Amino acid sequence: MHMPDRDDQDWMDALAGNTPAGADPLTIREAKAVRQAMLERREREAAPEFDAESGLQRLLFRLRKERLDGARGAHRYVALALAATIVLAVGLLLFLPKPGDEERPVFRGAEGPQILFADDPVKARDELKHDLEALGLAPRITPQEDATLVEAPWPERVEERHRALLERHYLRPPESRTLSVEVRKRP
Protein backbone atom coordinates (compact mmCIF):
# COMPACT_ATOMS: atom_id res chain seq x y z
CA MET A 1 0.00 0.00 0.00
CA HIS A 2 1.29 3.43 -0.85
CA MET A 3 2.19 5.32 2.31
CA PRO A 4 1.87 9.09 2.42
CA ASP A 5 5.22 10.65 3.13
CA ARG A 6 7.06 13.92 3.71
CA ASP A 7 7.08 14.67 -0.02
CA ASP A 8 3.28 14.45 -0.15
CA GLN A 9 3.06 16.84 2.78
CA ASP A 10 5.45 19.26 1.08
CA TRP A 11 3.37 19.03 -2.07
CA MET A 12 0.19 19.86 -0.13
CA ASP A 13 1.90 22.78 1.59
CA ALA A 14 3.10 24.16 -1.73
CA LEU A 15 -0.38 23.66 -3.20
CA ALA A 16 -1.64 25.87 -0.38
CA GLY A 17 0.78 28.60 -1.45
CA ASN A 18 3.61 27.89 0.99
CA THR A 19 7.23 26.96 0.29
CA PRO A 20 8.22 24.30 2.81
CA ALA A 21 11.92 24.32 3.73
CA GLY A 22 13.97 21.41 2.45
CA ALA A 23 11.37 20.27 -0.08
CA ASP A 24 12.29 18.72 -3.41
CA PRO A 25 12.37 21.57 -5.97
CA LEU A 26 10.52 19.41 -8.50
CA THR A 27 7.74 18.79 -5.98
CA ILE A 28 7.43 22.53 -5.34
CA ARG A 29 7.45 23.34 -9.06
CA GLU A 30 4.76 20.80 -9.79
CA ALA A 31 2.55 21.89 -6.91
CA LYS A 32 2.82 25.57 -7.78
CA ALA A 33 2.01 24.86 -11.43
CA VAL A 34 -1.06 22.92 -10.35
CA ARG A 35 -2.04 25.70 -7.98
CA GLN A 36 -1.86 28.21 -10.80
CA ALA A 37 -4.03 25.99 -13.02
CA MET A 38 -6.53 25.59 -10.19
CA LEU A 39 -6.65 29.34 -9.62
CA GLU A 40 -7.30 30.06 -13.29
CA ARG A 41 -10.03 27.47 -13.45
CA ARG A 42 -11.60 28.78 -10.27
CA GLU A 43 -11.69 32.29 -11.66
CA ARG A 44 -13.09 31.13 -14.98
CA GLU A 45 -15.86 28.99 -13.56
CA ALA A 46 -18.85 31.22 -12.94
CA ALA A 47 -21.16 30.21 -10.12
CA PRO A 48 -24.58 29.27 -11.46
CA GLU A 49 -27.21 32.01 -11.59
CA PHE A 50 -29.09 31.75 -8.39
CA ASP A 51 -31.93 33.67 -6.75
CA ALA A 52 -30.73 33.33 -3.18
CA GLU A 53 -33.58 35.35 -1.73
CA SER A 54 -36.28 33.08 -3.15
CA GLY A 55 -34.34 30.03 -2.04
CA LEU A 56 -34.05 31.42 1.46
CA GLN A 57 -37.77 32.11 1.70
CA ARG A 58 -38.50 28.57 0.53
CA LEU A 59 -36.13 27.28 3.18
CA LEU A 60 -37.68 29.35 5.97
CA PHE A 61 -41.13 28.18 4.90
CA ARG A 62 -39.97 24.59 5.01
CA LEU A 63 -38.38 25.03 8.43
CA ARG A 64 -41.65 26.41 9.77
CA LYS A 65 -43.59 23.60 8.15
CA GLU A 66 -41.29 20.98 9.67
CA ARG A 67 -41.42 22.79 13.01
CA LEU A 68 -37.71 23.48 12.88
CA ASP A 69 -38.09 27.22 13.28
CA GLY A 70 -37.52 26.76 17.00
CA ALA A 71 -40.43 28.92 18.10
CA ARG A 72 -39.31 30.32 21.43
CA GLY A 73 -40.42 28.41 24.45
CA ALA A 74 -42.18 25.76 22.42
CA HIS A 75 -40.05 22.90 23.58
CA ARG A 76 -39.05 24.28 26.94
CA TYR A 77 -42.56 24.56 28.29
CA VAL A 78 -44.06 21.37 26.94
CA ALA A 79 -44.76 19.99 30.41
CA LEU A 80 -46.36 23.25 31.51
CA ALA A 81 -48.44 23.39 28.35
CA LEU A 82 -49.55 19.81 28.89
CA ALA A 83 -50.58 20.53 32.49
CA ALA A 84 -52.47 23.62 31.36
CA THR A 85 -54.24 21.57 28.69
CA ILE A 86 -55.36 19.01 31.27
CA VAL A 87 -56.69 21.73 33.57
CA LEU A 88 -58.50 23.35 30.67
CA ALA A 89 -60.01 20.04 29.58
CA VAL A 90 -61.27 19.34 33.11
CA GLY A 91 -62.67 22.84 33.33
CA LEU A 92 -64.48 22.51 30.05
CA LEU A 93 -66.00 19.21 31.09
CA LEU A 94 -67.29 20.72 34.27
CA PHE A 95 -68.57 23.92 32.74
CA LEU A 96 -69.54 22.93 29.21
CA PRO A 97 -72.92 24.40 28.31
CA LYS A 98 -75.56 21.80 27.71
CA PRO A 99 -77.08 21.28 24.28
CA GLY A 100 -79.55 24.00 23.57
CA ASP A 101 -77.56 26.61 25.46
CA GLU A 102 -76.21 29.64 23.67
CA GLU A 103 -73.36 28.97 21.28
CA ARG A 104 -70.11 29.38 23.17
CA PRO A 105 -67.42 31.67 21.81
CA VAL A 106 -64.36 30.23 20.10
CA PHE A 107 -61.07 31.70 21.16
CA ARG A 108 -58.20 31.54 18.69
CA GLY A 109 -54.63 31.70 19.94
CA ALA A 110 -52.65 34.75 18.92
CA GLU A 111 -50.28 34.13 16.00
CA GLY A 112 -47.14 36.22 15.49
CA PRO A 113 -46.45 37.85 12.12
CA GLN A 114 -44.66 35.89 9.44
CA ILE A 115 -41.22 37.23 8.63
CA LEU A 116 -40.31 38.12 5.05
CA PHE A 117 -36.66 38.99 4.45
CA ALA A 118 -35.77 41.01 1.37
CA ASP A 119 -32.75 42.75 -0.11
CA ASP A 120 -35.12 45.61 -0.96
CA PRO A 121 -37.81 45.61 1.75
CA VAL A 122 -39.56 48.66 0.24
CA LYS A 123 -39.98 46.87 -3.06
CA ALA A 124 -41.07 43.65 -1.33
CA ARG A 125 -43.61 45.58 0.77
CA ASP A 126 -45.00 47.35 -2.31
CA GLU A 127 -45.28 44.10 -4.26
CA LEU A 128 -47.12 42.39 -1.43
CA LYS A 129 -49.40 45.41 -0.98
CA HIS A 130 -50.12 45.51 -4.70
CA ASP A 131 -50.95 41.79 -4.83
CA LEU A 132 -53.25 42.06 -1.81
CA GLU A 133 -55.06 45.04 -3.30
CA ALA A 134 -55.47 43.17 -6.57
CA LEU A 135 -57.41 40.52 -4.65
CA GLY A 136 -59.63 43.11 -3.05
CA LEU A 137 -57.94 42.71 0.35
CA ALA A 138 -57.24 46.09 1.87
CA PRO A 139 -53.77 45.93 3.41
CA ARG A 140 -52.77 48.12 6.33
CA ILE A 141 -49.13 49.23 6.38
CA THR A 142 -47.54 50.02 9.76
CA PRO A 143 -43.92 51.20 9.82
CA GLN A 144 -41.95 49.76 12.72
CA GLU A 145 -38.48 50.33 14.06
CA ASP A 146 -36.62 48.04 11.67
CA ALA A 147 -39.44 46.49 9.71
CA THR A 148 -42.74 47.19 8.06
CA LEU A 149 -45.86 45.35 9.15
CA VAL A 150 -48.31 44.47 6.41
CA GLU A 151 -51.68 43.21 7.59
CA ALA A 152 -54.72 42.31 5.58
CA PRO A 153 -58.00 40.58 6.34
CA TRP A 154 -57.87 37.00 5.15
CA PRO A 155 -61.04 35.47 3.70
CA GLU A 156 -62.76 32.54 5.34
CA ARG A 157 -63.20 30.88 1.95
CA VAL A 158 -59.74 30.67 0.45
CA GLU A 159 -59.59 30.41 -3.31
CA GLU A 160 -56.81 29.42 -5.67
CA ARG A 161 -55.81 33.07 -6.24
CA HIS A 162 -55.29 33.52 -2.49
CA ARG A 163 -53.13 30.39 -2.36
CA ALA A 164 -51.19 31.65 -5.37
CA LEU A 165 -50.46 34.92 -3.56
CA LEU A 166 -49.13 33.04 -0.54
CA GLU A 167 -46.95 30.85 -2.74
CA ARG A 168 -45.61 33.81 -4.68
CA HIS A 169 -44.44 35.49 -1.49
CA TYR A 170 -43.42 32.26 0.29
CA LEU A 171 -45.98 32.75 3.03
CA ARG A 172 -47.99 30.17 4.91
CA PRO A 173 -51.78 30.34 5.27
CA PRO A 174 -52.63 32.41 8.35
CA GLU A 175 -54.27 30.55 11.20
CA SER A 176 -56.55 33.47 11.92
CA ARG A 177 -58.60 35.76 9.66
CA THR A 178 -55.69 38.18 9.37
CA LEU A 179 -52.60 37.82 7.22
CA SER A 180 -49.78 39.48 9.11
CA VAL A 181 -46.32 39.87 7.54
CA GLU A 182 -43.24 41.67 8.83
CA VAL A 183 -41.02 42.79 5.94
CA ARG A 184 -37.41 43.14 7.03
CA LYS A 185 -34.10 43.94 5.45
CA ARG A 186 -32.12 40.77 4.87
CA PRO A 187 -29.41 40.54 7.56
Partner 1 sequence: MADDQDALNKIRQGGQLRVEGVSQLYHGYSRRFLAYFVKHRVSREHAEDLVQDVFVSVVRHAQDFRGETRIDAWMWAIVRNSLIDFFRRARPEDPFDEDDLIAVAEAQPGSQRDAGAGLEDCVRRAYAAFTEAHRDRAEVLQRVAFEDWSIADVAAMLKRTPGATREYLSQCRKKLRAFLEPCRDYLAG
Q: How far is the CB of 169 from partner 1 (least distance, A)?
A: 16
Q: Given the complex with partner 1, which of 30 and 153 has the nearer CB atom?
A: 30
d(CA 80, CA 99): 32
Q: Binding residues for partner 1, per CB under 8 A?
A: 1-5, 8, 11-12, 15-17, 26, 29-30, 33-42, 45, 47-48, 50, 52, 55-56, 58-60, 62-63, 66, 68-72, 74, 115, 117, 186-187
Q: Where are the beta strands (DSSP E) in 102-157?
A: 114-118, 140-143, 147-153
d(CA 64, CA 60): 6
d(CA 53, CA 146): 19
Q: How far is the CB of 179 from partner 1 (least distance, A)?
A: 19
Q: How far is the CB of 43 from partner 1 (least distance, A)?
A: 11
- Taking CA atoms, 39 is separated from 28, 35, 44, 161, in Å, by 16, 6, 9, 49
Q: How far is the CB of 98 from partner 1 (least distance, A)?
A: 42
Q: Given the complex with partner 1, which of 48 and 97 has the nearer CB atom?
A: 48
